[in-house]
Structure 1
Amino acid sequence: MTTWPKETWHAIGEISDIPLRGARCVKTPQGKIAVFRTAENEVFAIEDHCPHKGGPLSQGIVHGTAVTCPLHNWVISLETGKALGADQGEVRTIPVRNDNGALFIALESLMMAAE
């Protein structure tokens, strides 16, 4: 079992809590974080709002390592948080760890980025 520093990583659930090509939200003091699971069981965490008009990315369609916003079809990279194609803008990515199916996010990085 891998051990992560307790002061950095916060448990958010199990990978099985997130359907393949789906997402779940985690509420933090800085806002909602969308945690995505790809068809290949990769896990990514980003802010849960599209940089275009604030659409809920967690309700979008996951394809590969990207999500399409349900409001205006912007495609956002889950790896970088950047809009793909001709669109411009980005959301913050949050470090996420998968430790034998248990998921953890690094909230400190989000808090530091929000300051």
Structure 2
Amino acid sequence: MEPNYLEIGKRLQEARKSANMSQQDLANLMNVSSSYVKNTERGGKPSISYLFTVANNCSVSFDWLLTGTHTSLDLKQIPNSNEETEDLLDNLRNILNTADPDIRIWAKVQLQKMFGEYLPAKK
């Protein structure tokens, strides 16, 4: 699954406008030029730092920025069979093995946020 940067850019712009921020306001938060913000909103590849800044300052989720959907925990959707669990793990492996390093980093950060307390400490 390759990210659709044009659609991501549209959502970045929508989030910024919903937060009543100008491109310059967002650029100032990140210490980048307003042309960088304009480029990402037109479909340029955003950095992970940029996505964090928008998510944190515009009250949107990474899920929505990257996919356009909001996700929430629905207990009815939690896998309850070995086949469903294997499908879920296959999807996770695909995300973590994607060629795009930004997506891999994003996935690792999200997993750490969600399951950090259950993961073994690094030595």
Q: Same fold (TM over 0.5)?
A: no
TM-score (norm 1): 0.26
User: Counting strand residues as a fraction of each chain, which structure ranks higher?
Assistant: 1
| Bigger radius of gyration among the two | 2
User: Counting helix residues as a fraction of each chain, which structure ranks higher?
Assistant: 2
Bigger relative contact order, structure 1 or 2, given CA contacts below 8 A and separation 6+?
A: 1
